[in-house]
Amino acid sequence: MNTNYFTIIILSLLFIHCGANEKVHHAFGVIHEVFHDHQEMLIHHDEIPGFMMAMTMRLKVDKSIQLEEWSRGDSIKFEIVIAENSGFIRSFTRLGKVEIPDKEDDFWEDEDSPTAIGGILPDATFLKLDSTEISLSKNHGKYRFISFVFSRCPMPNMCPALMMKYRYLASELKSIENLEFITISFDYIYDNPSTLIKHYSSIIEPFPNWNLWSSFDHSSDMISLAHYSQFAFWGVEDNDIGHSMRSILISPDLKLLKAWDGTDWKAVTVKKDIEKILPLYQ
């Protein structure tokens, strides 16, 4: 996804509400989880040539699909539909049933459990866009709202839509001098600083309080921060990426103050949350 295309998505989400021609991609995959309350599914799909690498993604499901008819392990043929400002899936055909192995335990010891709200995150180091290193602890007394993306996300209502929300927050909260917005790419193999500049620089440039970091060549730091902050991602080294959605607010001493999960949170609500939280710690 190039920068111009990304900018068009952002502008359409902000200012346009009209119909658009659908782009339909045919896909094959396996259902890993069904989220009835949100009309969504977690699906691992094969590569879609010219559109998307193989991924495990939580996807919006068209209301024409009766979720109760589908379950974990269903192998399906389906359509991924990209409209002007959204993406969703539809037109399911069941191909069979697949046994999905239980998730293996990771290498973290019991004493290395994720950080709870109010706990302290360990330090981690990443790359700024000029390729110099920057750490969580080097914050000049600033609070940080941290989010995670990767540049190869093709779904307009996922990473691109979240970038629009972060843009709103960076704009609305720019008067808070000790608050900084940090977006980190967790794709530590592909998203080097040059790649991030290509995809995102025009979006964040107008906001001096918003910075983009790369985890390129800093995989252990990225894995550590993800674990302790309870942001989940996988498949980077297998070229088969999947991830959750989570944004966090941390204090200058790396205390985890609050977290927001998923994509459905409203930016105006998060703005109010931040405005309420920061005075409690200052």
Instruction: Indicate whether 111 belongs to any domain.
Output: no
* Digit-coded pLDDT (tens) for 204-260: 999 999 999 999 999 999 999 999 999 988 888 887 787 888 999 999 999 999 999
Structural domain containing residue 223: 119-281
Expressed in angstroms, the distance from the first to the final Cα of the chain is 40
Helix (H) or strand (E) run with residue 89 in it: strand 87-97
Q: Give the integer Cα–Cα distance in Å for 269 and 191.
A: 30
Residue 81 belongs to domain with CATH number: 2.40.50.320
The band of 164, judged by pLDDT with boundaries at 50, 70 and 90, is: confident
Q: Is 58 part of a structural domain of the chain?
A: yes
- Does residue 146 belong to any structural domain of this protein? yes
Residue 244 maps to a domain:
yes
**pLDDT for 18:** 38
Same-domain pairing of 48 and 138: no
What's the Rg (C-alpha) of the chain?
19
What's the structural domain count of the chain? 2
* 30 and 146 part of one domain: no
Residue 5 counted as domain residue: no
Residue 56 — very low, low, confident or very high, per pLDDT cuts 50/70/90?
Answer: confident
Q: Is residue 3 part of a domain?
A: no
Burial 66-80, CB ≥16 within 10 A → b, else e: ebeebeeebebebbb
